[in-house]
């Protein structure tokens, strides 16, 4: 039986065709400038949406803790701006409005680089947490505050002299205002925890106000203070390391929340425990006896206890000593009078 063989032939491929195919494959693997910018996180989308990080920048910042994970901080800052508005009105005898512009998380190095000079930096310490925070005041606020307190005319912008250091009068006025704000910040934290923020020092050079590693995460609250046609900004920066002692409290979704606890179940369990019956035993005497002595015991043998009538009696439940007492008699019954709690073994 003959077998039928089918052979399929193709036309020969020229060398130029092979070169064109390889060149096309190579071109398809080359990224253009727009694709490179998008990969690195510097594309047009990222510049238009400054809060949206893409590419490698999103990967690098993915480990950054977001302030939304500490819900109680928003309540603290909301209380702070209300307290500051009242305190600064009394301090300046003027109509002062305080607003919270934004709260954001960033790295300490990014925050230092974002500061606009000249600015005045206040380092303060959280006494109970044994760590530091940073408050920055821009020059507009400083000159506005000096202008208001020293009788400047209304309706005119605060005079701003660039390139000169702050005077002693200006520093003393700013220091008094900072201490007022720190006192309000301590009060704002009172519903959550008791903490005292103390003034530490003033700096004009950001390098001398370094309180954390450049890569550490910090939370920054941007506050705006307006006094009619004058005002300025305050940045309140607190490292996450400073907030670590009260992190569990700041994680609460509402004031007084208890994590992993159900009061209804606790009350039910407590009620059931009070109704539970347990077996207790009164141990008159404990002694060690050799096995050879026990093997020699016979019916009628006596076991001397070597105790007196007023010897203490140990009341145990299982292997746990509960109470100490004294044995006695009441009517036809042998009773034990409770003298107190048993000492726990170390």
Provide the pLDDT for residue 159.
54
Provide the pLDDT for residue 210.
85
Q: In what order do the strands lie in the sheet with 97-107?
A: 97-107, 217-227, 230-239, 131-138, 119-126, 197-203
Separation of alpha carbons 330 and 332, rounded Å: 6
Q: Please tell me the total count of domains within the chain.
A: 3
Q: Where are the beta strands (DSSP E) in the chain?
A: 97-107, 119-126, 131-138, 197-203, 217-227, 230-239, 281-283, 312-317, 320-330, 333-341
Residues 6+ apart with CB under 8 A from 157: 229, 230
Assess whether 54 and 74 both reside in one domain. no
Assess whether 195 and 146 both reside in one domain. yes
Task: Answer whether residue 86 shows pLDDT above 50.
Answer: yes
Predicted TM-score (pTM) above 0.75: no
Assess whether 312 and 188 both reside in one domain. no
Assess whether 145 and 172 both reside in one domain. yes
pLDDT tens digits, 184-222: 999 998 888 888 999 888 888 888 888 888 888 888 999
Domain span at 287: 277-341
- Which tokens belong to 312? 């203490």
Angle among Cα 10, 14, 19 to the nearest 5 degrees reads 125
Assess whether 55 and 72 both reside in one domain. no
């Amino acid at each position: 039986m003959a077998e039928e063989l089918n052979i399929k032939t193709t036309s020969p491929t020229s060398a130029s065709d092979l070169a064109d195919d390889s060149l096309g494959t190579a071109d398809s693997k080359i990224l253009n400038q727009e694709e490179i910018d998008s990969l690195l996180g510097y594309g047009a989308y990222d510049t238009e949406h400054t809060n949206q990080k893409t590419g490698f920048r999103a990967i690098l910042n993915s480990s950054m803790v977001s302030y939304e994970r500490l819900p109680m901080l928003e309540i603290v800052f909301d209380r702070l701006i209300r307290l500051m508005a009242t305190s600064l009105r009394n301090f300046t005898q003027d109509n002062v409005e305080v607003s919270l512009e934004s709260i954001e998380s960033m790295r300490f190095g990014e925050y230092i680089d974002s500061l606009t000079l000249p600015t005045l930096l206040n380092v303060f310490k959280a006494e109970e947490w044994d760590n530091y925070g940073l408050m920055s005041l821009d020059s507009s606020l400083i000159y506005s505050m000096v202008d208001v307190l020293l009788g400047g005319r209304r309706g005119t912008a605060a005079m701003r002299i660039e390139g000169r250091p702050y005077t002693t009068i200006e520093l003393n006025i700013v220091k008094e205002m900072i201490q007022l704000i720190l006192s309000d910040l301590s009060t704002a934290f009172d519903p959550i925890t008791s903490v005292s923020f103390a003034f530490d020092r003033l700096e004009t050079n950001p390098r001398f106000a370094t309180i954390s590693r450049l890569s550490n995460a910090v939370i920054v609250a941007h506050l705006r203070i307006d006094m009619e046609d004058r005002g300025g900004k305050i940045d309140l920066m607190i490292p996450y390391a400073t907030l670590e002692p009260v992190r569990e409290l700041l994680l609460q979704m509402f004031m007084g929340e208890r994590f992993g606890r159900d009061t209804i179940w606790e009350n039910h369990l407590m009620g059931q425990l009070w109704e539970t019956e347990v077996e207790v035993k009164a141990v008159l005497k404990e002694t060690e006896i050799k096995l050879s002595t026990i093997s020699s015991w016979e019916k009628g043998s006596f076991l001397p206890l070597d105790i007196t009538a007023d010897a203490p009696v140990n009341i145990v439940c299982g292997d746990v000593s509960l109470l100490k007492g004294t044995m006695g008699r009441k009517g036809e019954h042998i009773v034990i009078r409770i003298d107190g709690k048993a000492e726990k073994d170390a």
